[in-house]
Amino acid sequence: MSMGKQQELRGMRILLPSCQIDQGTTGKMVQPRRTKPMNLRTRKSQCAVSVKSERRPLLIKKILCPVVVKRIERPVDVDSVKDPISVRKIKKPVTVTTIIQPVKIFPLNQIEDRVTVYGSNSTVPIETDAQGRLVMSGEIHVSPVQFTEAVFAGNVSTDAFQALPSQDASIQTDLSYAIVNRSANAVLIHLEISPNDTDYTVDTESAVDGLSMKVLTPLRFLKFNRISFRSLEMGQSATFDVYYQAQSG
């Protein structure tokens, strides 16, 4: 006889065609109606029932011992559950109508329910302290603000450009030059920048009128800065002071 279903009852392997078990005293096998789903019932005296594959709707009225279902491809309705059900693969919904044994829902416990989290490129888990806060490791350096200044006083302009000593601005976050004109004649100021303290180009140009002050800040970054100057009007020299101030950190 061609066999289709496999069921293990009372420690015996019985190969059944697509049929139901008559739970009466006769133990006869009867052909199921094709319009109804298969019913599976168990008794306390029976052992565990293993359903390896069921493609038709499966209706379980009552479960009194553990049932292991390896694969479900159609809906399963369970009316009453008294013992565990283990399902390995589900392709369709499983509906549980009544649960006799309570389902425990409780806050997570640190010892029993904790989760270990690893970084994407690490074999060491992320660490937290007793309050659950993330523990950071490594060295953090906080640099204090460093102030730098230079004063170039008593400069006298001529008709040709002259340059003041340069300043290394490589680690400065803020810097400026204050030009204070002490004379009545105007002076032309160039703020120049350089990558190597040799080749300079003009970053900012400004004329400082007599008896006035202007503040210049470089618009672009290069490692070195300096001030160059000449008289604004030919033959009219000016006397002025330059204050360089910078801070880093």
> CB-based contacts of 24: which residues, under 8 Å, 6+ apart?
none
Question: Would you say residue 9 has pLDDT above 60?
Answer: no
Give the C-alpha separation, 219 to 191, whole Å.
10
Closest CA to 243 of 154, 179, 169: 179
Closest CA to 228 of 181, 176, 193, 183: 193
Question: Would you say residue 182 has pLDDT above 80?
Answer: yes
Give the C-alpha separation, 21 to 53, whole Å.
17
Between the two ends of the chain, the Cα-to-Cα distance in Å is: 90
Q: Are 231 and 161 in contact (CB under 8 A)?
A: no
Question: Would you say residue 37 has pLDDT above 80?
Answer: no
Structure confidence by residue, pLDDT tens digits, 53-107: 555 555 666 666 666 666 666 666 666 655 566 556 666 666 766 766 666 666 7
Give the C-alpha separation, 195 to 245, whole Å.
20
Give the C-alpha separation, 87 to 75, whole Å.
13
Q: What is the pLDDT of residue 146?
A: 92
Q: What is the DSSP letter of 85?
A: E
Banded model confidence at residue 118, pLDDT cuts 50, 70, 90: confident
Higher pLDDT, 115 or 244: 244
Q: What is the pLDDT of residue 139?
A: 74
Q: What is the pLDDT of residue 69?
A: 62
Q: What is the pLDDT of residue 16?
A: 38
Structure confidence by residue, pLDDT tens digits, 197-230: 999 999 999 999 999 999 999 999 999 999 999 9
Taking residues 170-175, report their average pLDDT: 94
Q: Count Cβ atoms within 10 A of the Cβ of residue 245 and give its class: 0-12 exposed, 13-18 middle, 19 or more buried.
A: middle
Q: What is the pLDDT of residue 228?
A: 98
Could you give the domains of the chain? Answer: 5-96 (no CATH), 146-248 (2.60.120.380)
Which range is least confidently modeled, 102-111, 167-176, 187-196, 225-234? 102-111
Question: Would you say residue 235 has pLDDT above 80?
Answer: yes
Closest CA to 76 of 44, 9, 7, 86: 86
Taking residues 141-161, report their average pLDDT: 93
Closest CA to 63 of 50, 46, 87, 80: 80
Closest CA to 236 of 158, 153, 154: 158
Which of 77-81, 128-132, 171-175 is the most confident on average? 171-175
Higher pLDDT, 105 or 163: 163
